[in-house]
Structure 1
Amino acid sequence: MTMENFTNGTNETDCPIAITPEDKKVAVPVILLLICFIGIVGNLGVIYVVYKFRQMNPLFLNLAVADLLFNLFGLPIYAAFYATKHRILIGDVTCKTLYYLTYVTMGVSIYSLVAICLLRYLSIKYPLHLRTMLGRGTSYKAAAVTWVVMLLLNIPLLIIMTEEGGKPCSLRVGESSLYYIYVTVVFGIDFITPATIIAVLSTFIVIHVFHIQKEHRTLSENEKGGFHKASKMATKRLMILVILVFSLFIVCWAPMHVLFLRAVLNRDVADDRPCIWKQVTEYIFLIAQILAFSNSSVNPILYNFVSKEFRLAFARAMCPCYYKKRDEEQSEITRRITVSYRTDAEMEVSDSCYQSVPLKTLK
């Protein structure tokens, strides 16, 4: 996941180095470890919230697990690479696992969003036929399929990445062409394809919801029903969240994918650009890499800003004692109001039973 896999960089030219190794050695590891800490805390919170409060989509749990794994086992090693100027030896197994895990978790994250969009589209397009089929069980199956496909798709990384001969983790000698092909395929599978699918499904969902809303305008208030209105609002909230998460994924990963693809396309072309442009490229790559790594940490923050339900559930998860006490107080207030209402009602019944009888009736 570093530009060293594609090029020797600008350090071997006569150009002055834009970012010195000492700058990278200090600043980048600090930034990556901060991202790592935020990601671990945030994604653990998401996992707990989705597990504890069943109204959240299980596929968000899938996304959080993928991001958590990368924060736990990927980011610390990348930080160590920068801190040691890419000289640290991590062992052949760890080397293979690092790059394998990076691409697997990236794929699981984006295809979890694809699955959310697909299941939501099917549920609103065929609500009567597929309602029983599109429950939590289906979401868990979709999550499992996502993991299996990504684990199989990224097996080539276990072959072409290695750490041997006392050299740091890098491409196996003679495998650079295979890696170029692989990166190009990944660009299509892990970026272009899911981006297209989510864009198309989101458009279909918006159009379908618009048609439903248009049909409801022709009905009377009694015919509309509360279920369709609630379903439409739930779909709207979910799609806003999905589109924002997807947009964030594009912002974080697009620069890295574009730079990698550019390096592949220009691998046999001599870099005779002016030094200033080489330095700019070096800065852009470093920013792109930090952006890509940060994607694993920003989703929990986005959930809290966008989803009121998640924000409340997250607050309950973080401060259970406070909310437990507040719920008990609210329950006590509700109980007192209910008792007071029943007492008033019983007194009214009692008064009606003991109303004065007219004298005429007594006579």
Structure 2
Amino acid sequence: MARGVYIHIPFCHQICNYCDFNKVFFKNQPVDEYIESLGREIKMAVESNPTAYSNIKTVFLGGGTPTALSAEQLDRLLTLIVSYISLDDIEEYCTEANPDELTEDKLVVLKRHGINRLSLGVQSFDQELLKKLGRTHENEHVFQTIEKAKEIGFTNISIDLMYGLPGQTIEQWQNTLDQAFSLDLPHFSAYSLIVEPKTIFYNLMNKGKLPLPGEDLEATMYEMLMAQMEAHGLHQYEISNFAKPEHESAHNLIYWDNEEYAGFGAGASGYLDGVRYTNHGPLKKYMDAIDQGELPINHQSKVSLKERVEEEMFLGLRKTNGVNIKHFEDKFKKSMRDIFEGQINKLLNEGLIVETKDTLKLTQQGKFVGNEVFQEFLLD
């Protein structure tokens, strides 16, 4: 049974140099037709398996950029969503947004339809770095948009930041943190740059034209991030996420709790009834499948017990609360140590995890090498 719903809007007015998500340039795309296809996909899915969608707690619009849509297109999309998914028990209804696209008329539409959380892709407050990233907004867009959002009644607002950027200095990162804290927001996400294949940054890196900070400098930036978030009253509840009390991202916690969610839209992924699936990415393939009365699934696979156990560990360890030992045993009918005795002892000896009566979690040192810790829980 799905606890959350993810809806993918694959359109962007500008493609960022680091992004590897499924996206296309907005211009000359069948945007209105895509929105109607999305509505038909949701309708087919819910009607074919109503029980799976009977207890939805979160809805998340991602992309691409949902706010690449016009106010009228957003209104139509949100009308379709509520036509097929009950929002009666919804805890969090969130959309991603670009600061320079989230106009007042769009904010009004979002508020009217019950959106109660905004996640803005800010990334940096350094204009030079924003240009390197391929971002189009300026700092004043961020401040003006957040001020307008607050005026309209949005209180749960988050921004994304990035560090470990090409040529980024400690001073630039400190300035970005200072500007971010001046906004007095209840939530921040902050990610180190990962250079993904099929991106502009990847091509530049292969040509030796992407001057990335070294591991030591990146670690210093992460250390600054954690210390200053705590000093500003934002607790770290996941490796890259910080929140004031009761402002954690409910939707993302579904992923980290290894619970089920539905994915709709071109290239979207979902995890439902023990099956992970991915939709067709190309718009034509996605929309053609729906025109033929079929769910647009490109690939699906039953998640094995081995995979479920692995995912429980490496997703759960992302949370600062870690993996609950009793919950693990109740879920899998085996204790954590029955399966991972050697791995746990090794990581304890290395000081990368800590084991209490109730939980297994990363130490402060472990947070710096999280991916290495997670790999230890991949079973042969």
TM range (shorter): under 0.3
Decide which structure has greater helix share: 1
Decide which structure has greater strand share: 2
> Which one has more relative contact order, counting CA pairs under 8 Å at least 6 apart?
1
Select the structure of larger CA radius of gyration: 1
TM-score, normalized by length of structure 1? Answer: 0.26
TM-score, normalized by length of structure 2? Answer: 0.25
